[in-house]
Amino acid sequence: MTPLRIVTQLLEIAAALIAAPAFLGWVNQCRAWLQNRRAPSVLQPYYGLRKLFGKDVILAENASALFRFAPYAVFGTMVAAAAIIPSMGTGLPLSTAADAIALVGLLATARVFVSLAAMDVGTAFGTLGARREMMVGFLAEPALLMVLFVAAMISHTTSLPLIAEGLTTRALALYPSLAFTAVAFTLVLLAENARIPVDNPATHLELTMIHEAMLLEYSGRHLAMMEWAAALKLFNYACIGFALFIPWGTGTEAGGPAALMLAAPLLALKLAVAGAGLAVVETLSAKLRVFRAPEFLATAFLLAVLGLLVYLLLGA
Amino acid sequence: MTAVEVSFSYLDACLGVLVAWGAIGVAGLIRPRSVEFAGRTLFPLGAVCGVMLTVVAIASIAAPTERAVLPVGLPDLPFHIRRDALSAVFLALLGGASAGISVFSAGYFRKGEGALPGLLCLEYHVFLAAMGLVLIADDAYAFMVAWETMALASYFLVTTQHRIAEIRSAGFLYLLIAHVGAIGILLSFGVMQGGSWQFTFDAMRSAHIAPEWASAAFCLALFGFGAKAGLVPLHVWLPEAHPAAPSPVSALMSGVMLKTAVYGLLRVSFDLLHGVQWWWGLLALAFGLGSAFYGVIFAAVQTDMKRLLAWSSIENLGIVFTGIGLTLVFQGCDMSALAALALIATLYHALNHAFMKSVLFLGTGSVLHATGQRNLGRLGGLIHRMPWVTWLTLVGVLAIAGLPPLNGFVSEWLLLQAFLFAGEVPQAFVNMLLPVGAAVVALCTALAGYVMVKFFGVIFLGQPREASLAGAHDAGVMERIGLLWLAGACIALGLLPVQVVHLLGSVVQELLHVGPGDWGVDGWLLAPPAARHASYGPLALFAVTVAVVVLGAVGVRVWFGRRARRGPAWDCGFVRLDSRMQDTAEGFGQPIRHMFEPFFSMQRELPTPFDALPRYRVTVGDRIWGLVYAPLGAVVRGTAEFAARLQQGRIATYLLYSFVTLVVLLALVL
Amino acid sequence: MAPLSFDLQLLNGCAALLLLLSFSMLSQRRIVNLVNLLALQGALLCAATLLVAVRTGQGHLYLSAVLTLALKVVGLPLLLHRLIRRLNVYWDAEPVINASGTMLIGLLIVVFAFGLAQPISALASTATRSTLGIAIAVILLAFLTMITRRKAMSQVVAFLSMENGLFFGAMSATYGMPMVVELGVALDVLVAMLVLGVFFFQIREQFDSLDLHHLESLKETE
């Protein structure tokens, strides 16, 4: 374990922690622009977090220890997930301990904890949100796994840094299978991060909520942790997308510190473009009825499996 | 027992434990009415035997095979027994899981519940010993005797509360399918002896039988063992029998007994038969995937907690059989490195399921004792009353949902690694179908997460749905120890996969005749040689996650304090919140019912707007019952009624039958 | 395996997109969009033909590309759009099987088609043979689309999509059919389209609807 690897690892975690709220702020800003509203600052999520951290926690009377523990567990799993996704450098020591499948597992762990915490107080909205979240999850999770599977088949490994490295270093080739999975991945990203066609992060209607409904009982620092974890999740998904579909510019171990220095502004650029794209997609689409969400996700799952089959047929 | 032996061997030690179990069972009859005697003395003793069996079995996995002939059985047909790596792994499973369940049982069985405690103790320990004998039997005769003893003992255990009609009919259904399955196994042995009429397994190993007969033997074995494992469509007994039995018995049946079917199929297809053909694998794979999917969607719509777990067992056994199928496909295509990977995944999942399902069943047992409720619609909020049971059950829940760093994830990871290379199978269609199989496995695992959130959330979280739940008490000391043991095993299996896989490597060597290869790096990183550069290190992952959680919690406390006030639930300002506003189990199953509607036969009872007391009721039935069993039952009944015409009641007619038979026979012979 | 040349990669890309379009048609319920997807499919087919023409240098393939462009990208879609406006059918009714179920069956069909194509493409000598599986899948998926629809209009679109699949299959297996056959097929499609157009008006005249379940009442016995 060389010092460079440790530095890369720590840098990635720090970058995720710091950049995640900014990325969310950027998406919100783009959305506001596109909708002809006055845009909040990119830093707005940080202000929100600071405010929430400073506030007292009000716990519901029958909230259990699980309810208080869940925000930290969710935050922890999201940070662990951020630590294994090669967003800036591929020389990540922790990514030998957890590959693409473990990444999906980590995301699932976070989802289970959020849902259980939402059921803990026993309100109508909380349980409703938990049920919907799990409904979205059980279709999105296999879809994500299949997306990663295609990339893994192309690279003959499930290790994320090796997938990213493999796709950058080999001769440029068209992968029709990756086109399928890219579409599937986008759908999964939208659904899993409570973005518009499936859920609306800005909604005030409790009956249409999924993610927000689960957080209704949280307040103060617990809510801050949950919000931060949600921002991290979006950031993680974006970075998974970069690693699978546009891995160029990620610093490889051979590239040394220079590559890592170059990777940081490139990542910022990718995030800026991806955030703007996400805002465009969200602005152009209308929210689906909850009943239609499974169809949306089934399409994602299907596209991912189709990508797998196309890869097997065409070898590309 | 073993002290009198001159030369000590692992096999003797195993046998000693089995005999000890039998003795403990018989000892129960000394004071059949005393709960104290059975609970305080005999069940803990049985647990000690279980621990000993585990230790011996684990120590013996890598040891050379041992055989012995027992002086029991029919004249000229003595029992042959044998301990090899495969037996040892399953013996360890039996010992480990039963130890926890026995300790739990010591505190569980109470006075006045169905059968006498002493009788229960006898049945329970005979059941354990019979399962052990199944695992070491080395001839068809001993195997079948043990197999049937196991079925009978468990039948009596299922019908402990035999005064309830539903439990009697559940027991009958179980016995019926167990016997239909046993016929399949018996016929399979009949085919495998290959004309030598020698029924020892050694004779079967050396018999040369034609490929088509081997295929027939495999299909019969798949049928027979599939009936025991609850593969769809032979699963109907499982959701009936598991809820009917007392919880420790459910745990034992689901956790251990179903694994004997896995053992049996592995024994037959890799040890007794030669020349594995790849399409056997496809068959097992199809049934496995079908069961996994069918099981998990039915689990999601159940409203009875034990029935939910029973369906979840069908799902998990489906995944185990998927693993067997994948192993067979790879083995049939001479891809032994991948076959080894798939076999390890299979064995690992079998081990995992034994422990995690036992935790869950025992957890429901404690809930049942504390509340008297099995219906999910009448539970809730038990986390405040039963913290021990809640947190230990949570371990099982997270494990069975396949979440890292617990054990369910390890086997899922291994299985998916095996699936990743399925595209390289040199058979058209198969190489396309197998990756789709991976998608089904992924879907089932994700659905298992859904089921488990429902299970745990509805029972333990939220507000109590009944006023009587306020008086629920936590489990007793013995029950806690049992649960701790099993949950600890789940955690150990999750965090130490390299060590476990190293042990399982001997089985791979024995069954597939390939070296297991180097599976671990520095003892903490699981890196299968077949999976090329992929690795999984749960200890490091867990350590980092825990470090972040602790740092986060400490950081937040240092900088922002830990002020917290209690107040009424916010619920968007709604003030008249009560427990009936929470999602029910039916509500939680609704998305699944909606999405997979064609699979369910549903009966809805919808309230009209004018009902004074509106009631909504939906019952979800199994279509297979109507499609397969009901017509089959009608055919059997019709045939029986036709045959009943022979029964005239007049002596003269019966004499005529005898006379005609005699004449026909004479005519044939002469 | 050796990396494919770039034009073959492009062709594979076209094939994959064709498959994607077939699935979109399977799930699309707006008939206008269905026609647009058909036009897009025609355009891809045209591009694929051009690619093969450039690769093999066969003159008649250029001609057939132009023919595809004229007929399948411009002509038929225009005709269909006019029909839609005249007949005022914009939406298909709720499909026979629900969307996810149809997609799942579609997936199985793809597996079947790909498996079926493996031995055939092993026999073919063309460089484009690996796309044969996709061509078969497109044909079968179009069939499935026809089965699951209720409106005559969408069935016609699916029928045309099936013809696209056949054309693509011929191209990947043998670099296209002889010119005479191709011209004949094109003419056939055109005629079929005109006949069907007349039929549509007749059906609507008779039943005031294009929903095909009305035809069920035409049988002799009840």
pLDDT tens for residues B152-173? Answer: 999 999 998 888 899 999 999 9
| CA B430-B432-B438 angle, 5° bins | 95
| Average pLDDT of the segment spanning B274-299 | 94
Q: List b or e across C164-201, with b for residues whose CB sees 16 or more CB atoms inside 10 angstroms.
A: bbbbbbbbbbebbbeeeebeebbeebeeebeebbeebe
A–B interface: beta-carbon pairs under 8 A: 265
Closest-CA distance, A133 to chain C, in angstroms, reads: 19
C6: which chain A residues are within 8 Å (Cβ-Cβ)? 174
Closest-CA distance, B472 to chain A, in angstroms, reads: 16
- What does the pLDDT read at residue B4? 44
| Average pLDDT of the segment spanning B245-267 | 95
Q: Tell me the two tokens of residue A295.
A: 């169809």
Closest-CA distance, C4 to chain A, in angstroms, reads: 8
- What does the pLDDT read at residue B1? 42
The label of the residue with tokens 């089904």 reads B440
Query: How far is it, in rounded angstroms, from Cα B455 to Cα B373?
Result: 14
Q: Which residues 279-298 in chain A show a CB within 8 A of chain C?
A: 294-295, 298
Phi, psi of B464, deg, nearest 5: -60, 130
**Gyration radius of chain A's alpha carbons:** 19
Query: How far is it, in rounded angstroms, from Cα A112 to Cα B406?
Result: 14
Query: How far is it, in rounded angstroms, from Cα A214 to Cα C124?
Result: 57
Q: What is the DSSP letter of B469?
A: G
- For residue A132, the chain B residue with the least C-alpha distance is B591
Neighbours of B73 (CB within 10 A): 15
Q: Please indicate if any CB of chain C lies within 8 Å of the CB of A207.
A: no
Contact C101 B598 (CB under 8 A): yes
Q: Tell me the two tokens of residue C222.
A: 């009840």
**Gyration radius of chain B's alpha carbons:** 26
Phi, psi of A58, deg, nearest 5: -110, 115
Query: How far is it, in rounded angstroms, from Cα C199 to Cα C221?
Result: 24
Closest-CA distance, B506 to chain A, in angstroms, reads: 25
Q: What is the DSSP letter of B622?
A: E
* Residues 6+ positions from A145 with CB-CB distance below 8 Å: A101, A104, B416, B442
The amino acid that residue B85 corresponds to is: A
CA nearest neighbour of A123 among B454, B465, B375, B583: B583
Neighbours of A174 (CB within 10 A): 18
Closest-CA distance, A114 to chain B, in angstroms, reads: 10
Closest-CA distance, C118 to chain A, in angstroms, reads: 8
Neighbours of A36 (CB within 10 A): 6
Along the 316 residues of chain A, how does pLDDT read in single tens digits? 588 888 889 999 999 999 999 999 999 999 999 999 999 999 999 999 999 999 999 999 889 999 999 999 999 999 999 999 998 888 888 888 899 999 999 999 999 999 999 999 989 899 999 999 999 999 999 999 999 999 998 888 899 998 888 887 776 677 888 889 999 999 999 999 999 888 888 877 878 888 999 999 999 999 999 999 999 999 999 999 999 998 888 877 777 788 888 889 999 999 999 999 999 999 999 888 888 888 899 889 989 999 998 888 887 6
Contact predicate B604/B621, CB 8 Å: no
- At B576, is the pLDDT very low, low, confident or very high (cuts 50, 70, 90)? confident
Contact A206 B572 (CB under 8 A): yes
Query: How far is it, in rounded angstroms, from Cα B87 to Cα A210?
Result: 49
Contact B432 C114 (CB under 8 A): yes
Mean pLDDT of chain C: 81
Closest-CA distance, C141 to chain A, in angstroms, reads: 13
- What does the pLDDT read at residue B38? 85
**CA torsion sign, C201 to C207 to C208 to C211?**
negative
Mean pLDDT of chain B: 90
No. of H helices and E strands in chain C? 8, 0
Name the strand (E) or helix (H) holding B618: strand B617-622
- What does the pLDDT read at residue B386? 94
Task: Using CB atoms, pick whichever of B428, B436, B595 lies closest to residue C119.
Answer: B428
Neighbours of B253 (CB within 10 A): 25
- At B84, is the pLDDT very low, low, confident or very high (cuts 50, 70, 90)? very high
Strand partners, B567: A60
- What does the pLDDT read at residue C212? 67
B434: which chain C residues are within 8 Å (Cβ-Cβ)? none
Contact predicate B306/B253, CB 8 Å: no
Can you say whether residue B387 is alpha, beta or left, with left for phi > 0 and alpha for psi between -120 and 50 degrees? alpha
Task: Using CB atoms, pick whichever of C103, C110, C130 lies closest to residue A299.
Answer: C103
Mutate to test the interface with B, among C118, C123, C134 (most CBs of B within 10 A): C118
- What does the pLDDT read at residue A71? 96
- At C166, is the pLDDT very low, low, confident or very high (cuts 50, 70, 90)? confident
B438: which chain A residues are within 8 Å (Cβ-Cβ)? 146, 149
**CA torsion sign, B554 to B555 to B556 to B559?**
positive
Mutate to test the interface with A, among C21, C27, C44, C100 (most CBs of A within 10 A): C100
Contact A313 C20 (CB under 8 A): no
Query: How far is it, in rounded angstroms, from Cα B319 to Cα A272?
Result: 43
Name the strand (E) or helix (H) holding B170: helix B165-192
Can you say whether residue A99 is alpha, beta or left, with left for phi > 0 and alpha for psi between -120 and 50 degrees? beta
Neighbours of A201 (CB within 10 A): 19
Task: Using CB atoms, pick whichever of A101, A294, A305 lies closest to residue B416.
Answer: A101
Query: How far is it, in rounded angstroms, from Cα B238 to Cα C218?
Result: 50
**CA torsion sign, C8 to C11 to C15 to C20?**
positive
B645 or A221, higher pLDDT: A221
Closest-CA distance, C114 to chain B, in angstroms, reads: 8
Q: Tell me the two tokens of residue C33.
A: 């969009």
CA nearest neighbour of B538 among B583, B597, B494: B494
Query: How far is it, in rounded angstroms, from Cα B520 to Cα C208?
Result: 72
- What does the pLDDT read at residue C221? 57
A315: which chain C residues are within 8 Å (Cβ-Cβ)? 1, 130
- For residue B541, the chain A residue with the least C-alpha distance is A97
Task: Using CB atoms, pick whichever of A101, A127, A153 lies closest to residue B583.
Answer: A127
Contact B380 A122 (CB under 8 A): yes
Query: How far is it, in rounded angstroms, from Cα B627 to Cα A195?
Result: 43
The amino acid that residue A54 corresponds to is: G
A312: which chain C residues are within 8 Å (Cβ-Cβ)? 114
Closest-CA distance, B630 to chain C, in angstroms, reads: 27
A310: which chain C residues are within 8 Å (Cβ-Cβ)? 16, 19, 134
CA nearest neighbour of B194 among B212, B207, B184: B207
Task: Using CB atoms, pick whichever of A295, A299, A309 lies closest to residue C111.
Answer: A309
- What does the pLDDT read at residue B2? 43
Contact predicate A298/A139, CB 8 Å: yes
Q: What is the DSSP letter of C38?
A: H
Q: DSSP of chain A, one letter per residue?
A: --HHHHHHHHHHHHHHHHHHHHHHHHHHHHHHHHTT-PPPPTTHHHHHHHHHHHSPEEEETT--HHHHHHHHHHHHHHHHHHHHS-SSBS--GGGGT--HHHHHHHHHHHHHHHHHHHHHS--HHHHHHHHHHHHHHHHHHHHHHHHHHHHHHHHT---HHHHHHHHHHSPP---HHHHHHHHHHHHHHHHHTT-TTT--TT---GGG-SHHHHTTT--HHHHHHHHHHHHHHHHHHHHHHHHHH--TTPBPTTTHHHHHHHHHHHHHHHHHHHHHHHHHHHHHSPPPPGGGHHHHHHHHHHHHHHHHHHHHHH--
CA nearest neighbour of B542 among B349, B417, B406: B406
Helix (H, G, I), strand (E, B) or coil at B287: helix
Contact B436 C111 (CB under 8 A): yes
pLDDT tens digits for range B172-214:
999 999 999 999 999 999 999 888 888 899 999 988 889 999 9
The amino acid that residue C31 corresponds to is: I
Neighbours of chain C (3+ CB pairs under 8 A): A, B
Contact predicate B221/B269, CB 8 Å: yes
**pLDDT greater than 60 at residue B62:** yes
Helix (H, G, I), strand (E, B) or coil at B1: coil
- At C220, is the pLDDT very low, low, confident or very high (cuts 50, 70, 90)? low
Mutate to test the interface with C, among B297, B431, B432, B595 (most CBs of C within 10 A): B432
**pLDDT greater than 60 at residue C81:** yes
| CA distances to B199, B368, B513, B664 from B66, in Å | 19, 44, 18, 53
**Chain Cα centroid distance, residue C8:** 22
* Residues 6+ positions from A110 with CB-CB distance below 8 Å: A73, A74, A77, A78, A81, A229, A233
Neighbours of chain A (3+ CB pairs under 8 A): B, C
**pLDDT greater than 60 at residue B64:** yes
**CA torsion sign, C185 to C187 to C191 to C193?**
positive
Mutate to test the interface with B, among A94, A112, A147, A228 (most CBs of B within 10 A): A112
